[in-house]
Amino acid sequence: MADDKTGEKLIASNRKARHEYFIEDTLEAGIALTGTEIQSVRLGRVGLGDAFAEIRGGEAFLVNAHISEYDFGNRMNHDPRRKRKLLLHKAEIRKLDSKVRERGYTIVPLRLYMTRGYAKVEIGLARGKKLWDKREDLAKRDAQREMERAAKPSTRD
Residue 30 forms beta bridges with which residues?
A: 87, 120
Residue 156 — very low, low, confident or very high, per pLDDT cuts 50/70/90? low
Higher-pLDDT residue of 146 and 156 is: 146
Instruction: For residues 71 and 82, give the distance between their C-alpha atoms in angstroms, rounded to a whole number.
Output: 17
For the chain, the residue count is: 157
pLDDT per residue as tens digits for the range 81-130? 888 899 999 999 999 988 888 777 888 999 999 998 889 999 988 887 77
Instruction: For residues 157 and 120, give the distance between their C-alpha atoms in angstroms, rounded to a whole number.
Output: 49
Q: Does domain 8-151 have CATH number 2.40.280.10?
A: yes
| Pair 48, 109: CB distance under 8 Å | yes
- Which ranges in 1-155 belong to alpha helices (H)? 15-20, 35-42, 90-103, 131-151
Residue 132 is predicted with a pLDDT of 72
Residue 90 is predicted with a pLDDT of 94
